[in-house]
Amino acid sequence: MGLKMDKKYSKGTYFFPFFVALFFHPSSVWAQNTLGTLLCNAKDAGTSYPLILNAIAYIAGAFLTVRAVLLFKRHAENPNQSQIVAGVAHAVGAAFLLSLPLFAGVIQESILGSVTGTWDGACTEGGVVSASALDVMMQNLVTNIHGPMFKLLSMLSVIIGLTFIVKGLFAGVKTGTDPRASSPKTIIVNLVIGAVLISIGGVLNDLLLTIFGGTTASPSNMRNFSGIAWSTFVGSGVDTIAADNTVKAILAFIQIIGGIAFLRGWLIVKAAVEGGGQATIPQGVTHIVGGAMAVNIDVMLKIIDNTFGTGIIN
């Protein structure tokens, strides 16, 4: 996560709202039994953030409505110092902020169509078994955190996306008063990337379908991975169950890394468009595409195996 951004868009800015949601969440977030439980508690705590943000947007919208009226009044009293553009910007921005959930849905469907995320489903940590060896310990870790990690990443995407949408609306409100803060590029990139992030599950599925084709429109389930053809190396009649389970755990962990890279890629694209730091659009696209490939790492291994004709993958 070594992306260098300018101070205005530091990584702490993205995750600060999540920690605010943790603070206001009524349940005991940190009463966990395993790492998976902790991740699920954090994800459940994040569900309160959209409500907090909606309340803040509603209050801000009310203040902006009053300010819009005052700007129109000033324009009527002194037409030579026109306030009409700023007044209209304040009025439109206030209307969108007052109806933030509806506006976010409109932006989402206008740009991406009818897509759904995966953040609002049940979060259940994987079960663990008594560890008798290091490979079993690794399997326990990955099994325990795999599902909760994807739920948490999806929730973080929604949190960051909603924040970007509100940020874009505030930038639009400044039209007519602050040309630098209200540039069309700033407004559009916040609204578009925000819409993408609140629909991250559907966007990932669409990208998987685009890359792999066929019916590959959802992340792979490593439980269905057919495994490696160990007989090629060790001959037949050798028990390879432990090795197969270890390989599945490793691939599942690669899926987690891919999910993180996919989310990070969109943040890099946003920073690149806004001119933040050393981020570039090719870097962002590489993270997005590479992350999607890592999420379906078993399919990628089979494609590579078919390409070179090695016959290693069952």
Choose between 308 and 225: higher pLDDT: 308
Q: State what percent of residues in the chain have pLDDT above 70.
A: 86
Q: How confident is the model at residue 97, as a pLDDT? A: 94
- In this predicted structure, the answer to whether residue 283 has a pLDDT above a threshold of 90 is yes
- In this predicted structure, the answer to whether residue 161 has a pLDDT above a threshold of 90 is yes
- In this predicted structure, the answer to whether residue 29 has a pLDDT above a threshold of 60 is no
pTM above 0.85, yes or no: no
Cβ pair 108, 115 in contact under 8 A = yes
Nearest CA-CA partner of 313 in 215, 304, 213:
304
Amino acid at 157: S
Nearest CA-CA partner of 205 in 303, 35, 196, 52:
196
- In this predicted structure, the answer to whether residue 56 has a pLDDT above a threshold of 70 is yes
- pLDDT category, 9, cuts 50, 70, 90? very low
Q: How confident is the model at residue 255, as a pLDDT? A: 93
Cβ burial, residue 129 (10 Å; 0-12/13-18/19+): exposed
Amino acid at 261: A
Partnered with residue 313 across adjacent β-strands are 228
Nearest CA-CA partner of 189 in 128, 275, 263, 109:
275
Nearest CA-CA partner of 46 in 138, 119, 96:
119
Q: How confident is the model at residue 16, as a pLDDT? A: 57
Residue with tokens 């943040």: 267
Q: How confident is the model at residue 30, as a pLDDT? A: 47
- In this predicted structure, the answer to whether residue 235 has a pLDDT above a threshold of 80 is no
Q: What would the pLDDT profile of 127-145 be if each residue is shown by its tens digit? A: 788 877 888 898 899 989 9
Q: How far apart are CA 284 and CA 291, in angstroms?
A: 10
Q: How confident is the model at residue 271, as a pLDDT? A: 92
Q: What is the mean pLDDT of residues 255-259?
A: 94
Cβ pair 60, 95 in contact under 8 A = no
- In this predicted structure, the answer to whether residue 113 has a pLDDT above a threshold of 90 is no
Q: How confident is the model at residue 1, as a pLDDT? A: 39
Task: Name the token pair of 291.
Answer: 């992350």
- In this predicted structure, the answer to whether residue 69 has a pLDDT above a threshold of 90 is yes
Domain boundaries in the chain?
A: 7-308
- In this predicted structure, the answer to whether residue 314 has a pLDDT above a threshold of 70 is yes
Q: How far apart are CA 78 and CA 72, in angstroms?
A: 10
- In this predicted structure, the answer to whether residue 2 has a pLDDT above a threshold of 80 is no
- pLDDT category, 121, cuts 50, 70, 90? low
For 275-298, the DSSP string reads: T-TT--HHHHHHHHHHHHHHHTHH
Q: What would the pLDDT profile of 194-224 be if each residue is shown by its tens digit? A: 999 998 888 888 888 888 887 666 777 877 7
Cβ pair 57, 145 in contact under 8 A = no
Choose between 223 and 268: higher pLDDT: 268
Q: How confident is the model at residue 131, as a pLDDT? A: 72
Q: State what percent of residues in the chain have pLDDT above 90.
A: 37
- In this predicted structure, the answer to whether residue 28 has a pLDDT above a threshold of 80 is no
